[in-house]
Amino acid sequence: MSKWVLLGIRSGTKTTRYPSHTESAAGISPGRPKDTLMADKNAQALIRDLCPTGALNPKNDRIAVDYRRCISCRRCARGASTLVDWEESWEWASLSAPDLNASSALGSPFSQSLHIRVLDAGACRACLSEIEQLGKPYYNIHRLGFFMTPTPRHADVLLVAGPVADNMRLPLEKAYDAMPTPKRVVAVGACALSGGVFGPSFTSYGSLKNVIPVDVEIPGCPPPPLAIIHGLLVLTGRRPPAESGATSFLDRRSGT
Amino acid sequence: MNQSHIARPTRKDLMDGICSRWPGMEANTRIEEDGSALITCDIATLRELCEWLFCENNYAFATLIVEDEEADWLFRYIFYGDAEVGVVHVCMKQPKSNTVAPSISAGVHAADWHEREVEDLFGISFEGHPRLGDFVLHEEWPEGVNPMKKDFDASKPYMHRQVDPEWRPLRILEAQGAFMMPIGPVYSDYAEACQFFLETVGEDVVRTTPRIFYKFRGVEKLAENQPVERVLLMAERFSGASAFAHSLAFCRAVEKISGLEPPPRGQVLRVLFAELERLRHHVGAIAGICGSTALAVATSQASILEEELLRLSCIMSGHRYLFGVNRPGGISIDVTSDQCKMLGDSVRSIASDLKNLFDMLRLSSSFLDRIEEVGIVSTENALSYGLVGPVARGSGIARDLRNILPYGPYKSQIACQTALETEGDGYARLRVLFREAEESANIICRLSSELPPGDVASPEFRLKAGQALGWVEAPLGAAFHWVSIGEEGAVKRYRVTPPSFMNWHGFHLAAENFAFQDFPIVMATFGLSNAECDR
């Protein structure tokens, strides 16, 4: 057995230092399209038609991005002469209601110890695979006080991926009801936010919001592990959400 | 042992056999342009013909495709041998008014779940099938509503009926003290949604019945009347862990209809990405197996390699799971020679780490104690259930589509060895995973230094109407995509047969008469995906 211990020690520390330091390794995030200045109406129409899910829409002289719909197909980054800008970021999570205040996000008792139940509501396994990476050496969310729990009865947070397949509606509702209050729901990935390419349809509800209330939204197809960590930090008030400025959210939190 | 499964008859043997057994049938048999044989038969001969192919001639069962035509149901049973005998389509038509078809699953057991699926989705029952109903559509779905029928409106959610309070899962075990333990669909830390009924009389589990299709998203129905570009997105996203393999199978079917192959550089890059995906998938599966035996350091080591491969995929293609790379006619990105060199170097170092990991695992007796002789699937069972992929190859079946039905550069340029083990237990499956991961790494290293120049996609690619079968060896095994495109360029029928669907069928073989604590190990060594199966 000692050889395993030696192997472990020899590997050194791989874990990212996010959020206390920034992470700059290559390949940690696929990036996403950015709000782009584009005055030419023809180019705007071209970009709009390129997007298969209607995530890119002209708005005055810009192309606005609806991240709930973006499925990372990268068709807007290839194939047209005028392309949208691309950002190599990962802090994408936002609070689902813009005026959500600190008392509706989980308060300080949970900020350093949060138990999470992952629920697969019809996900393609890419989101689940990224969630699984959270517990592995490169990301290791235990260092941040986040823990996965096998039962909803011990969970503070329900982390849901997938377009809510019809056969999963009942298990999802039961799991949500079984959680003690206060409880929070995080929707992970384009499918859970807008149904992605699958819904709404005869088999999918198209959005987690149509079934249970959602507090934090993490867009992406799939969101990379760091984006999911950011979502959990947003939920506990330790990082600002994507939409608002860096200080405003923290100010709001300390003000109430 | 495996040789007997490779020795299959030639195409001439097939024709001669059919003629001597069913005189006059040669008029109904023809060889298509792509080399596949098409046999048209009537209801009376169907069962015998399918059994003759499957049981006497060692053909493997690929898929059952039902098409809802104007006046008829069209049944298409697809079998495959090896490159020499190719693919055999058996077609049977029956009028719409007749909703009972003969069941072939008594002889062709691999077709068992296909028939159950058709019964739920089309409302066609199979005469002689022992167990129909409650499969794809669960207990909340109204009886008599069959979503794959042409007249079903897929855009609207359907009305729920009340859950039948009398509904109980099927129990087979009858003994004193018999107890059934349900697991799932919400269980374990990161597990996919799936339910298992473990029937037990104390500590030992006698039988396990999986209940799948919790994640049914109806991809085949949603694809109907959609443009090819849109269906491609679904082909890619119904199973994110093998997105490249499935989008490749879809693209290959579309390209076959158009009669246009991608340029050499595009083809070779496709192999490069497909093998990169296989390598990443297998490393993830190995991490899962180590995790199931609670070997923490080994799990971490494999997980580190998995994340490194995810990052590598992102650097090469812009996406960690290779989404958006394939498109009909080729691929949508090109790589530079610097990228290729970096890929080769990184994969070489990952392969050497993997080798070290295996050397340590195979000398760790506490690990071997847990996976040896666990979850055994015999060769006979694996054959009759039509198992595919690493699971079948761990049970002595030398079937790998890259070798038996080679496509693209696998035809001549790339030789890949079929990893084969015969014990059929968890350790055999683990060794197959390691061998295949090593083989994939070798292919990547070789190809990354000798990419042919030229375009990555064919600029002349145009959609045509028609129908074709595309196949690839996905990380989990043989995947078949049947695509039919109408005159206006929209998809008329899309049928996906993923490897996980075939292998979940045989999962109960490995989960019989075992100690309860071995359940996660059996699960991990099968390494199946529900997303891929439920589609």
- CB contacts under 8 A, B 468-497 vs A, are none
Residue carrying the six token digits 């099968």: B526
Interface test with B, best of A125, A176, A177, A211 (most B CBs within 10 A): A125
Backbone φ/ψ region at B105: left (φ over 0), alpha (ψ -120 to 50), beta = alpha
Q: Give the pLDDT band of residue A99 (cuts 50, 70, 90).
A: low
Residues 6+ apart with CB under 8 A from A256: A101, A102, A103
- Answer yes or no: are the C-beta atoms of B266 and B251 closer than 8 Å: no
Give the residue from B119, B122, B58 showing the smallest Cα distance to B88.
B58
Q: Cα separation of B230 and B252, whole Å?
A: 16
Residues whose CB falls within 8 Å of the CB of residue B352, separated by 6 or more in sequence, listed in order: none
Nearest to B256 by CA among B31, B464, B486, B402: B464
- Specify the CATH number for A94-236; select among 3.40.50.12280, 3.90.79.10, 3.30.70.20, 3.40.120.10: 3.40.50.12280
- H-only helix segments in chain A: 2-11, 41-50, 126-133, 169-178, 189-194, 225-235, 246-255
Q: CB of B291 within 8 Å of any CB in chain A?
A: no
Report phi then psi at B380, rounded to 5.
-60, -50
CATH 3.30.70 fits A32-87, yes or no: yes
CA distances in angstroms from B102 to B6, B47, B117, listed in the order given: 30, 7, 15
B347-399 pLDDT, tens digit per residue, is: 999 999 999 999 999 998 889 999 998 889 999 999 999 999 999 999 998 88
Asked if the interface predicted TM-score (ipTM) of this complex is over 0.85, the answer is: yes
In this structure, are residues B319 and B333 in contact, taking their beta carbons and an 8 Å threshold? no
Angle B79-B147-B38 from CA coordinates, rounded to 5°? 20
B399-439 confidence digits (pLDDT tens): 888 888 888 888 888 888 888 889 899 999 999 999 999 99
Please report the domains of chain B, with CATH numbers, ordered by start residue: 3-127 (3.30.460.80), 179-211 (no CATH), 219-533 (1.10.645.10)
> pLDDT by residue (tens digit) across B482-533?
999 988 889 999 999 999 999 999 999 988 888 888 888 998 999 889 999 9
Measure Cα distances from A143 to B24, B85, B217, B305 in Å: 74, 57, 36, 21
Residue B169 has pLDDT above 90, yes or no: no
Looking at the complex, does the CB of residue A87 fall below 8 Å from at least one CB of chain B?
no
> According to CATH, where is 3.30.70 located in chain A?
32-87
> Which residues are bridge partners to A187 per DSSP?
A160, A217
Would you call B455 exposed, middle or buried from its count of C-beta atoms within 10 A (0-12, 13-18, 19+)?
A: middle
| Portion 190-219 of A in contact with B at CB < 8 A | 196-205
Put simply, whether B237 touches A (Cβ < 8 Å) is yes
Q: pLDDT (tens digit, 9 = 90+) per residue, B134-143?
A: 788 887 787 7
Residue of A nearest to B334 (CA): A78
CB contact under 8 A, B221 and A202: yes
Q: What is the pLDDT of residue B106?
A: 87
Write out chain B residues lying below 8 Å of A221, CB-based. Answer: 237, 323
Pairwise CA distance, residues A7 & B297, whole Å: 8
Three-state SS for B150-163 is CCCCCCCCCCCCCC
Higher pLDDT, A47 or B266: B266
CATH 3.40.50.12280 maps onto chain A at 94-236
- What mean pLDDT comes out for the span B299-306? 93
Residues B84-117 have pLDDT tens digits of: 778 889 999 888 888 888 899 888 999 999 999 9
How close, in Å, is residue B218 to chain A by CA atoms? 6
